[in-house]
Structure formats: structure tokens, C-alpha cells
Amino acid sequence: MIDDETKDGVPAPLQEGSKRRPKRRYDDARRSEEVASVRRAIRYELDPEDDDDAEPVREPVIELDNISLAFDEPILKEVSFVAREGETIVVVGESGTGKSTILKLILRLLVPDQGRVSIDGEDISHLSFEEALKVRQKMGMVFQGAALFDSMTVFENIAYPVREHTNLGEDEVEARVREKLEFVDLEPDKVMQQFPSELSGGMRKRVGVARGMANNPEIMLYDEPTSGLDPLTTGTITRLIMKLQRELGVTSVVVSHDIRSAFRMATKVALLSERHIAFFGTPEEMTGSDNTYIRDFLGGT
């Protein structure tokens, strides 16, 4: 199901790779901001409405190559897929099939037993803990329960990654926090001084998105972004994820079992079944498939 394109993006070994592409370093927030704004302008010129436009061949950003992982029992077996720049990959599948594990592998919170995870062509499987912390700065993660720090206010939560990785002054940090809160449609003056426990589930998720994107990452990862939310809030969060992709051009991986919102935001869908990927392709291809398992899966939701 993975086409030949995987092969031309095969990364050189770690050191070579980092020598070859010295410009693609991590904490280059300005670069990704510039790229995003240029991309946004071009997109708008080409087609102000449609976000599904055909672009020239895009670079692979996240590559999972033949990943296997087992703890006490196997969790993933020979899983491969590629997420190219600006794409949204939605990983769907039954509960307990190791969907969230994929995100942890991309974040290098876990290391695969076999296979390779590459970010921007750099193999991250063999990085040291400190190096992995740096690679993670390219990514923003939105956790299932938002995972906001409950001892900190909303402001401090969103400011946390900014303070941690940039040398911005307090005024600039506040400007950044306000900008992100406005992006996720929350009123900064209302929520900034509140604690996570005072927010509703949907608001907490949105603050989680704001914190994830605080350092303008090129990759956004979402773990069950719509689970436990009412249909209206589900719609809001889905639109927010699409807005991030459309306006900032981030590459996203969404883990979800909500097929309806998955189809709305996905460039490609990966269906995980029995520890391996049973299908990888566009939503249209998936609905058009005559595979019984896929039909059952779609029919069952």
C-alpha cells in the first residue's frame, strides 16, 4: 500500500543526514513562520477556497519505515507510511490497536524494536535523550485529555514551551500567547489567568492546541482530539485542525476513531488492524474500496 515514493526519500545515516541538510535545524521558529506565510499566500493566490489543491511533489516530513514494536506482546508489525509536507494523515482503527503508540514513536517517547522513524529525513531512532528533546521542538502534540499542567494558569501553560526554548522577553511571550489563543478562538483576556480545572473540555482541548503550536512547529500530532466531546465541539476542533493545516501548512498526524471527522480533515487515511496497516490512501479511495474489512469498518461506524 505504500508506493515507491518511500524509497526516494530514504534518509542517509544519521550523521550524513544532518551534514547534508544543515539548514533544517529545529529551533528555527522564524523560518517556519516565513515558510508558512509564503505558503499561505501562494495557496490563497491559487485557490482561495479549496485546500485540497494539487501541489508539486512535496517532501516527506514523517516517515515510518517497516516499524515493529512489542512489549509483552506485539503491538505494531511492519507498519510503514509517509506524511508529506502539509498533509494530514488520520490513523483510524479499533480501540487498542496501537494507534497512540504511533504518535509516541514519532515523538520518540518510544523506540521501535525494528524499523526506522525519520523526521525531515533524519533517523530519530538512535538519538540520545538530549538530542530527542531537540527533535521534539519541531513537533506540537495535543494529548487526549489535553494534559495541561494543572498547577499553572492557561497563560503559563502556553508560555511554557516559549520560555523553555526561546529567549523572548516577557512582552513578546505574552504577545505570542495572545496570538495563539486568538488562533484557537479563545478570548485571551478571559481565559489567560484561569486554571485548566476551570475550563470546559472543549476549551481545554483548544488551549492544548494553542500550547502545542506555541513554538510554531512544522508537525502537529493529535491523540483522539475529538473523543469525549459533544458533536458541536467535535466540529469546532475538527475545523481548528483543518485551519492549522490550511493557514500554517503544518504536517499533521491525527489518531482518531471518529471516522466522520477523520474523513473531513484527512489528506490520507491509515487504517490500523491486527497490528499492521490494512489500508493507506485518500478518503475517496477508502470509501471506494471493496475490501470486506474496510467495508465492515466503515459500515460499523
Partner 1 sequence: MTPFLKRLNAAAKGKVLAIQDYFTLAWKALRFTFSRPFYGSDLVQQMDVIGVQSLGIVLLTGFFTGMVLALQSSVQLKTFGATIYIGRLVAGSMIRELGPVLAGLMVAGRVGSGIAAQLGSMKVTEQIDALNTLGTDPIKKLVTPRVLAALLMLPMLTIINDFVGILGGSIIANIYLGLPSSLYWRTVWEQIASGGFTMRYIPNDFIQGLTKPFVFGGLIAVTGCYFGLSTTGGTEGVGISTTRTVVTSSILILVVDYFMTQVLLAFFS
The verdict on 144 binding partner 1 (CB under 8 A) reads yes
CA-CA distance, 276 to 274, in Å (whole number)? 6
Binding of partner 1 at residue 28 (CB under 8 A)?
no
Q: How far is the CB of 191 from partner 1 (least distance, A)?
A: 19
Please give the residues from 191 up to 220 whose contact with partner 1 meets the rule CB under 8 A.
211
Contact between 160 and partner 1 per CB under 8 A: yes
Cβ-defined contacts of 175-178 (< 8 Å, 24+) = 176/214, 177/210, 177/214
Q: Which of 7, 72, 129, 189 binds partner 1 (CB under 8 A)?
A: 129
Residue span binding partner 1 (CB under 8 A) among the ranges 54-62, 77-85, 104-112, 120-128:
104-112
| CB closer to partner 1, 55 vs 164 | 164
- Minimum CB–partner distance for residue 223 and partner 1 (Å): 8
Q: Does 71 bind partner 1 (CB under 8 A)?
A: no
Query: In Å, what is the CA distance from 203 to each residue of 92, 238, 249?
Result: 24, 13, 23
Residue 8 to residues 20, 85, 89, 266, Cα–Cα distance (Å): 15, 15, 20, 24
List the strands of the sheet with 251-255, edge to edge.
139-142, 219-223, 251-255, 88-93, 268-273, 276-281
For position 178 contacting partner 1 by CB under 8 A, the verdict is: no
Query: Residue 225 and residue 233: Cα distance in Å, rounded?
Result: 10
Question: 149, 156 in Cβ contact below 8 A?
Answer: yes
Among 14, 133, 168, 242, binds partner 1 (CB under 8 A): 133
Residue 299 beta carbon to partner 1: minimum distance, rounded to whole angstroms: 32
User: Judged by CB under 8 A, does residue 168 bind partner 1?
Assistant: no
Smallest gap from Cβ 12 to partner 1, in A, equals 25
